[in-house]
Structure 1
Amino acid sequence: MSRRPVARRMYSRFRSAKFIFFMSLCNALVMLMNIVYMYNRGEVIQTKQEIIREVIRTVPCEEDTEKEHKAKVRVKYFGEEKQRHEEEETERELPLCTNKTEQDVECEISFSEFNYPLEINMTKLVSDYKRQGYVNEVIINKYTHIETIVPAKSCMYGDKKESQKNVFMIYLIKSTPTNYARRNAIRKSWADENKFPNIRLVFLMGIPERSALNDMVLAESKEFSDILQLDFIDTYYNLTLKAIGGIRWTAKNCPGAKFAVMGDDDYYVATDFMLSLLEHIHSFQPAGVYMGGLIHSAKPQRDRSAKWYISPADYPFNKYPPVIRGGTLVMSMDFVIDMNIVIPYTKPIRFDDVYFGIVAYKLGIKPMTEDRFAIRKVRYSDDEFRTVLSSHGYKRPFELKHAWRCHEIMQELARENSTKKTCW
C-alpha cells in the first residue's frame, strides 16, 4: 500500500475530527447562551437534587435545635431619649446654625430642636379625626394621584362565605414596570398565596415612560390581579408617592388585616418565619408596631452629587429620626391607618423610609428591630440563612427562586429530624 492514500485517509479523518470538534464547540456555546438568557429571565428550571448539588453545597441543615431558632424572638425596642439625641463623633459636613449665621451660608439645626411641620400634637390629631371625622388643621401634603390599576382581590380568605376571615398580613411590594420576572418569582416563591392563604400580595408601581410597556402591565394585572398602579412616572425619587399610595389603598381596603409589610422586589423573605414572628408579637403587642432593620443615627446627605442628597431647605436637621429600612418595613394595621390620617399634615420628603420614620416619630411610635432582618445579602451557603427573616440583594429572579427552594428543603429536613451536616 502506498503512503499517499494512507496520508489522504489520515488527513480526511483529521478534517472530520476538526469539523466535529468545531460543531460541538458551537453547540456548547449556543447552549451556554440559552442558559444565560434563561437565567437572566428567571426561567431556569432545576430539580430539587440539582439545586442541592449546585447551589446549597455546604449549608448546614437545620436540626432539632432549629425549632427553637424559629420560635425564638429577639425583639428590641428603640426609644431611649439619650439614644435618640446622642451625637456621633464624626466631622460634620455643614455647621450648626446660630443666630449670627452669615447670609447665604448653609447650616443645619440640631436634632434636639426637631419641629418638623406641621408642628402639632399628631396623637391628638388622630384621636380628633377618628372621633369627629375631620380636623381643623390645614392640609400641607395633599395626595392628588389617582389609582389607574387596582388589585381585583379580597382581603378575606376561606372556602365558604360564612367562614371567611380577614387576612393576617398583606405584602406591599414596591416594584417597577420592567421587573416582571422578579414579580413572577415572588408570586411563585415566598409570597405564594396558595401556600399561605392568610396573606395577600400587592405590587406598587407608577406609570412607565413607554406606553407599550404599560400595555404589558395591564395584561399582567388581568392575569394576576395583584397590581396597584398610580398615575405618576415610575422613578426612584417618586418612591414616597408610591409608598403613600400603598398606605392609602391598604387603610381603605384591608383594615381588618393585622399587619402590612412594605418592601422592595429585590428582597428575599422567609414568609413562614415572618408569620410566626408576627403572630408572637400580636399576642403581646397588637398595636403600634413599626419594625424592621433599624437605623437609629442616620444623617442627611449634604453632598449634592450623592444619590440621597437632601438640601437643608428640605430637611434642616443634622440627623434623621430612627428609621426602619424601606426594604422590609413591618407595620401593624392601626399604625397604617394612623399614618394615613397624619400624612396629609406632614411635610413630604423624597425618601420613603425616612418619611415614614418622621411620621412614626411624630406619632410617638417606638421602632422595634429583630436580629434576623438582614441589611445585606445573606447567601444560601451562609449559616445565617437558616434563620434569616429577610435579605437584600436578590435582583436575579433565578437566585430568588433558589433561595426560597433552599429554605423549603431545609425546613423539610428539619421536620424529618435529619442529622445531616449538609443539605446534599
Structure 2
Amino acid sequence: MSRRLAGRSMYSRFRSAKFIFFMSLCNALVMLMNVVYMYNRGEIIQTKQEIIREVIRTVPCEEDNEKEHKAKVRVKYFDDEKQRHEEEETENELPLCTNVTKPDVECELPFSDFNYPLEINMTKLVYTCKHHGHVSETVITKYTHIETLLPTRSCVYGGTKGSQRDVFMIYLIKSTPTNYARRNAIRKSWADEYKFPNIRLVFLMGIPDRSTLNEMVVAESKEFGDILQLDFMDTYYNLTLKAIGGVRWTAKNCPAAKFAVMGDDDYYVATDFMLSLLEHVYSVQPTKVYMGGLIHSAKPQRDKSAKWYISPADYPFNRYPPVIRGGTLVMSMDFVIDMNIVIPYTKTIRFDDVYFAILAYKLGVKPMTEDRFAFRKVRYSDDEFRTVLSSHGYKRPFELKHAWRCHEIMQELARENSTKKTCW
C-alpha cells in the first residue's frame, strides 16, 4: 500500500514538474513576443548605462583633450554667379526649348532666363511696402486659409527681477496630426523651453481627415499651447501652405526674435550648438540670413511617377535657385518679414524649400551653409554626432529622446575628460 502511494506521489510530482516547465516555456514565449512587439513599436528604452556604453567609443582620448567639442563656426557664403557646384546628371531631363523644333514637345528653359512671376524688383517692393504701407502691384497669391488653433506662449520670456526679454530663436516644426508621440519627444528633448528659455517651439499642421483625430489635436493644443493649425487638409503637397502659414504667424507675432528655424519633426537638432552658431552669425551678419544644408544645383524632377515631379508648365527652367533643405532652414527675422511681404506677389510652387529658395533669390538673399547640417541620419556611434547641428531620419520618438540624451551625456563626459585628463 505504501509503495503504491509512493509511486502515485512520484507520478504526481513528475506531472507537476512537466506542468511547471510547460507554463514557464509559455511565459517565456509570451515575454519574447512582447519584446518583439515593443521593439517594432520603438518603445524599448535604453538605460543611461547602455547609452554611456554606446557613447564611450566616440569620446576622445587624452591626446584629443585640447579639441573643442562645442559648436565650431564654419559658415560658408555662396555667390550664385561665382561659386557653383558640379551639376549632377539626372534621368528624365528635358531638352532645352531652343533645341526643340517639333510642336507639343515638353522642354525646359535655361536658368539664365529665370523670370519667375511676378517679374518685378522685389527689394524695391519691400522698401515701398515698409515705408508707404502699400504697393501698386496686383496680388497674385491670395492666402485665404485661417488659423483654427493658435499657440498661446508669448514671444518674450522673463529675465532677472521680473524684466522681459525677447526670444532669440523660434522653432517652426512642420508636423502631421498623427505624430503626437514625435512632437512630445521633441518637447522633452532638443526643444525643451524650460531648458532653453530663450527659444519658442511651434508645431505647424493642417486639418486631419478624421474628426476624432482633430479632437485629439485640439486637446493637445490646450495642454501644450504650441500648435498652429490652419484650415487646409494636412497632406504632403500642402507643405508650402503650411510653411507660408508659419511665416505669416511669425512675422506678426514674433517680429522681435532674431531667428526662426523651420524644420521637420523627424529631425534631431543640437539646440545648444544651434544657439552658439546663431549667436556668432548674429554678431557678424544679423540680417539677410538664409542658412542650412545647401543644394546648389538642384534640378526639377521631370519623371511623372516621382514624388517630386513638377511639370514644365509649373516650373519651366532646368535648374532651381540654390536651395536650403527644408528639414532645417535657418532664417533671420528680417528675412521672414520680407518674405511675408513678397509672398502675395510670388507664384507658389508645391515644394516649400524650393519656394523659399525662389523668394530668397528674388530678394537677393544669398544662401549660407555649414557642414554640420546633415540630411542623412547621423547615429550616436558616429564620430560626426559629437558636433552635428541637425540630422534627418529620426522617425521613432524614442530615437529623438535618445539622441538628445546621448548628446547631453557626451557633453558631460567631454567636460569631465577635459578636467580629469582621462581616456574612457
Is TM more than 0.5 here? yes
User: 1:66 offset after TM fit, Å?
Assistant: 7.3
Task: Work out whether residues 260 and 330 of structure 1, in 8 Å CA contact, stay in contact via their aligned partners in 2.
Answer: yes
**Deviations 1:22-48 (CA, angstroms, capped at 9, x unpaired):** 433433444445555656666555542
Show CA shifts across 1:278-310 (max 9, x none).
000100100010000000011100000000000
Q: Secondary structure at the match of 1:286?
A: coil
Consecutive unaligned residues in structure 1, runs of 5 or more: none
CA–CA distance in structure 2, aligned partners of residues 154 and 145 of structure 1: 23
User: SS at 2:373's partner residue?
Assistant: coil
Q: What is the 5 A alignment of 1:13-412?
A: 15-35=15-35, 44-53=44-53, 55-56=54-55, 58-61=57-60, 65=65, 68-83=68-83, 93-98=93-98, 101-159=101-159, 163-412=163-412
The TM-score, its normalising length taken from structure 2, stands at: 0.92
Q: Residue type of the partner of 2:360? A: A
Aligned partner letter, 1:379: R
The SS at the match of 2:171 is strand
Residues 31 and 100 of structure 1: CA distance in aligned 2, closer, same or farther (over 3 Å)? closer
Query: 1:104, 1:262 → 2: CA distance?
Result: 40
**How far apart are the structure 2 equivalents of 1:330 and 1:66?**
30
TM-score normalised to structure 1 length: 0.92
Distance 2:27 2:56 in 1: 29
Letter in 2 for 1:181: A
Count of matched residue pairs: 421
Contact 2:65-2:421 within 8 A present in 1 as well: no
Query: In the aligned structure 1, how far is the partner of 2:227 from the partner of 2:358?
Result: 27
1:171-213 Cα shifts (integer Å, max 9, x gaps): 0000000000000000000000000000000000000000000
Report Cα offsets for 1:210-235 as digits up to 9, x if no partner: 00000000000000000000000000
Pair 1:91–1:267, CA change in 2 (3 A): closer
Distance 1:17 1:135, change over 3 A: farther
**1:410 Cα shift?**
0.8
Deviation per CA, 1:316-348: give whole Å up to 9, x if none: 000000000000000000000000001111100
Please give the secondary structure, in 2, of the residue aligned with 1:403.
Answer: helix
Please tell me whether the aligned partners of residues 159 and 165 of structure 2 are also in contact (alpha carbons under 8 angstroms): no
Counterpart AA for 1:110:
P
- Farther off after superposition, 32-41 or 341-350: 32-41
The answer (yes or no) to whether the contact 1:122–1:362 under 8 Å persists in 2 is yes
Mean Cα deviation higher: 7-16 or 342-351: 7-16
Q: What percent identity do the matched residue pairs reach?
A: 83
SS in structure 2 at match of 1:98: helix
Aligned-residue offset at 1:77? 1.0
Q: What is the Cα-based RMSD across aligned positions, in Å? A: 2.6
1:199 corresponds to which letter in structure 2? I
Cα distance in 2 for residues equivalent to 1:416 and 1:155: 35
